[in-house]
Chains A and B, each alone.
Chain A
Amino acid sequence: MSTETVVLPPAAARARTGTSASCAHCESAVPAALVDAGADRQFCCTGCATAYAVLHEHGLDTYYDLAERRDRPVRSSGRTYEEFDHAAFHELYVRRTVDGLASVDLHLEGVHCASCVWIVERVPLLLPGVARTELNVRRALAHVEWDDAAVPLSHIARALDRLGYAAHPFRGVRAEAVRRREDRAMLVRIGVAGAIAVNVMLAALALYSGWFGGIEREHERLFRWVSLGLTTVALLWPGRVFFTGALAALRLRALHMDVPIALALAAGLARGAVNTVRDAGPIYFDGLATLVFALLAGRYLQQRGQRFAADSAELLHSLAPTAARVVDGERVREVPAAALLPGMLLDVRAGDTLAADGVVEQGSSTIDLSLLTGESRPVRATAGDVVYAGTLNRGAPLRVRVTQPGECSRLAAILRQVEEGHRRRAPVVLLADRLAGAFVAVVLVLAALTLAFWWRVDPGAAVDHAIALLIVTCPCALALATPLAVSVAVGRAARTGILVKGGDVLEKLARPGLLLLDKTGTVTRACTALERWDGPAWVRPLVLALEAGSPHPLAAGFRRAWPDVAPAVATESVHTVGGGIEGVVDGRVVMVGSPRFVRARARGGEATPVEDDALTPVLVAVDGEVLGAAAFGDPLRADAARSVERLRARGWRVRLLSGDAPSVVHAVARRLGLPADDAAGGASPEDKLRVVERAARGGPHVVMVGDGVNDAAAIAAASVGVGVHGGAEASLAIADVHLARPGLEPLVRLVEGAARTMRVIRRNIGFSLAYNLVGAALAISGRLDPLIAAVLMPASSLTVVLASWRSRTFEQPPTHPEEVA
């Protein structure tokens, strides 16, 4: 095997022409020894070559459009998982089984198929002391039971990690237990209610047959008493929730849907019981039992829909580092973030996120506050300064003394907000709740009136009609279907790679407004290629030295353009977001950045580089004098123009807002089909925030789409903030929507799906209104038998719930494969 390292080409360069050394079929790196300079496609092995030939020969190249590509090969994260053995970790996450073994639930990354289940459940068993491992494939949760005296948890985690399944502690342990109990109780109730309903219906069948064909009195009596017995059980066991719900509602003076239901059930049972004892008159036990079952089933479906949405929030896990590096005498240990105590000394490397609030004791660096404040200007921090958890240490290592650990830190507060975000109710849902309350009040009044009106005619019939009214009217569209439609939409969107944090987002996106797009990384691929360089060759190592540690796409562009230039070493470097880098290399002061940044700090550069519209200019200055100029090109995403067109066709006003040079931004805007004054370049992060604020004051809601690198504040301030694929960590925390797939097409689907969801909700409400009016009219006028009512109501309820549940609000787009799970 060649010892030369082949740099894995970035995603954008992985074109099928294979001019970079990546396999045309499977996209993994082609070892240098197998690169065939003459061929225009490279393959990593005969297998891939053959597969490609077969597909190509039979015109099946669409395979490459459909196949979901890995961004990189399965690789272990290299973590040591030391913190998993820490006492505090065990206290938080590890439980004991009855056999005395330790057990833990770990959330694994990268689980997606049957083989994953096989591997995850078998590999840990190779370690002595591991008793069993069980994987829940849908939620990617592995339950591990092991003897903690025989093998530490970190070993088990490392074993899984080596295969590509990075492990995180499952933080919802307490919520999980509650959820499991609730689910089981619900399933029991539905099962029992179903069994009873079916049997009561069989007894009713016998009675109906008897009605038509004649039946012995004693048999009739038998069936009536059996029905009474079974229905009583149904009301006392599974049906008890309705009574407890109604009592709770009355105590809170709120009118909940449970109230009329409980009333109807109680009245129906009483009336049926009286008639059974009297041995004369109609009974409605089959209707009542079926009602109980159908209502419970409807509620269960609704609950599942809402779980769907909550589970997708689990995808945004580990925003805060779970481990922190604590200085312990001479050593530095990894400790779970939750175990940090005030007074501990943290070692924070450059590029690390701070795990707790504290005071800098040693070191001098710049801190990126964007996660907390949205403010992206880095702040200097030296000894004595206060720093906060969740911020990113950009410059140099720091030693920080902890003041506020874990739960109390500002980051924890934000994360709590994020977690609660998925419980945010859409305004339409809140409205529906209020309307449901009013609805119930109206129904109760009408029932009382009906009773009073018919009492004079026939008391028995009066009771029947009132019961029929109570049963048939149902605010299902309001109480059940609306929140369900929203939850299902959010869950489905998550399946297609659109992670929505709250139901209100969908409502806001349903109507067109103002859409602000960031350029780099959002509309373009952020894969920067050096197109032109004017400057002396000896400057190159200096540039590379400064760009060495930078994650900025331009740095990667430089590195890719000059692979054989050995970088010098920078002794100091400061990165200004949206401007450039300056530092000291080999004793010289070097600056690399945007023309505005560099010209403010150095002479020269008036002989500007050719500002070709589409290219991003970068100036290099050494010792205060501009010596070099580079021009970078950034290709537009394939679907960008089309997506923008579709959005504008729906009525959205689209504007491009970027920190890049105005000429470049205008060129990109032209290619997207946007008018010139809908594009603004040279915007600093503060400028972007100002644009958002001004727009929010004036008119329709503002949607900001960006990658969080220099627009975190704008994203936070917009009515809906959208973070794109590949964006900064800040966008995960702050944005209301996270697009997990690249491109702008998910954005279009999000907007279309939101509109569709609102349509589904409106349709449901319309149907429910019509149904209720007709049903109530029939019941009040005495034309509705309670039995029919008991069938109609769950039917309508289930119809509306099913319509929401199955509503095709977010579907897999035709060019992507179906999800496996």
Chain B
Amino acid sequence: MSVLFLVLPLALLIVAVAVGAYVWATRSGQLDDLDTPAIRMLHDEPGTARRGEGHRER
């Protein structure tokens, strides 16, 4: 009896968990809008350093 009989079902279990996570994410609407979250990443959290930390070149 080789280890394959243990490993293969284990791998399938992991796949099942991954698929479960994917299904949960989809059904809870996390994949509805893929464009705006990309833009929102550019926004600062309110309350963090307000003073601009941009380059001051001159």
A interface, CB within 8 angstroms of B: 114, 117-118, 121-122, 134-138, 180, 183-184, 187-188, 191-192, 195, 199, 216, 218-219, 222, 226, 230, 821
Contacts and interface: CB of A to CB of B under 8 A. Distances in A.
Contacts of A118: 43
B4 interface: yes
Nearest to B32: A180
B18 interface: yes
B23 to A, nearest CB: 5
Contacts of B43: 117-118, 121
Nearest to A230: B12
Nearest to B44: A118
A187 B26 contact: yes
A393 B54 CA distance: 55
A579 B29 CA distance: 57
B42 A114 contact: yes
A396 B22 CA distance: 61
Given A180-B29, A184-B27, A187-B31, A226 B8 contact: yes
B15 A192 contact: no
Contact of B15 (A138, A183, A199, A821): A199
A587 to B, nearest CB: 62
A199 B8 CA distance: 11
A821 B35 contact: yes
Contact of B23 (A122, A136, A188): A188
Given A135-B36, A230-B12, 4 more contacts: A117-B40, A121-B43, A136-B33, A191-B26
Contacts of B5: 222
Given A195-B19, A226-B8, A117 B36 contact: yes
A187 B31 CA distance: 9
Nearest to A226: B8
B22 A191 contact: yes
Contacts of A122: 46
Given A136-B33, A195-B19, A199-B12, A222 B4 contact: yes
B2 interface: yes
Nearest to B33: A136
B39 interface: yes
A498 B49 CA distance: 45
Q: Which 7 A-B pairs have the closest CB atoms?
A: A114-B39, A138-B35, A187-B26, A137-B36, A191-B22, A195-B19, A136-B33
A821 B38 CA distance: 12
A219 B4 contact: yes
A191 B36 contact: no
B26 A219 contact: no
B34 to A, nearest CB: 9
Given A114-B42, A199-B12, A136 B27 contact: no
Contacts of A180: 29, 32
Interface in B9-58: 12, 15, 18-19, 22-23, 26-27, 29, 31-33, 35-36, 39-40, 42-43, 46
A726 B52 CA distance: 42
Given A219-B4, A226-B12, A184 B26 contact: yes
B32 A192 contact: no
Contacts of B19: 191-192, 195
User: On chain B, which size bracket covers the interface?
Assistant: 20 to 34
Contacts of A183: 32
A218 B4 CA distance: 10
Nearest to A179: B32
Contacts of A117: 36, 39-40, 43
Contacts of B29: 180, 184
A230 B4 CA distance: 17
Nearest to B34: A138
B44 to A, nearest CB: 9
A136 B33 CA distance: 7
A188 B26 CA distance: 7
Contacts of A135: 36
9 contacts: A114-B42, A121-B40, A136-B33, A137-B35, A180-B29, A184-B27, A187-B31, A192-B22, A222-B5
Greatest chain B CB density within 10 A among A137, A218, A230 is at A137
Contacts of B33: 136, 138
A192 B39 CA distance: 29
A218 to B, nearest CB: 8
B58 to A, nearest CB: 15
Greatest chain B CB density within 10 A among A180, A187, A219, A230 is at A187
A222 B3 CA distance: 12
B11 to A, nearest CB: 8
A181 to B, nearest CB: 10
A188 B21 CA distance: 11
Nearest to B5: A222
B16 to A, nearest CB: 9
Contacts of A219: 2, 4
A195 B15 contact: yes
A138 B8 contact: no
Contacts of A230: 12
Contacts of A218: 2
Contact of A138 (B23, B26, B36, B46): B36
Contacts of B18: 195
A192 B36 contact: no
A114 B44 CA distance: 12
Nearest to B18: A195
A184 B32 contact: yes
A134 B36 CA distance: 9
Given A135-B36, A138-B35, A222 B26 contact: no
Contacts of A137: 35-36, 39
Contacts of A114: 39, 42
B50 to A, nearest CB: 14
A90 B24 CA distance: 31
B29 to A, nearest CB: 7
A192 B23 contact: yes
Contacts of B12: 199, 226, 230
A222 B8 CA distance: 9
B8 A191 contact: no
Greatest chain B CB density within 10 A among A117, A199, A230 is at A117
A821 to B, nearest CB: 7
Contacts of B42: 114
Contacts of B26: 184, 187-188, 191
Greatest chain A CB density within 10 A among B15, B22, B27, B39 is at B39
Nearest to A184: B26
A121 B27 CA distance: 24
A204 to B, nearest CB: 14
Contacts of A216: 2
Contacts of A222: 4-5, 8
A682 B8 CA distance: 84
Contact of A188 (B15, B27, B32): B27
A216 B18 CA distance: 30
A44 B24 CA distance: 55
Nearest to A223: B8
Contacts of B46: 122
A135 B37 CA distance: 10
A117 B22 CA distance: 27
Nearest to B11: A199
A734 B22 CA distance: 45
A192 B27 CA distance: 13
Contacts of B23: 188, 191-192
A114 B18 CA distance: 33
B6 to A, nearest CB: 11
A188 B12 CA distance: 18
B28 to A, nearest CB: 9
A191 B27 CA distance: 12
Contacts of B27: 184, 188
A117 B35 CA distance: 11
Contacts of B15: 195, 199
A138 B39 CA distance: 11
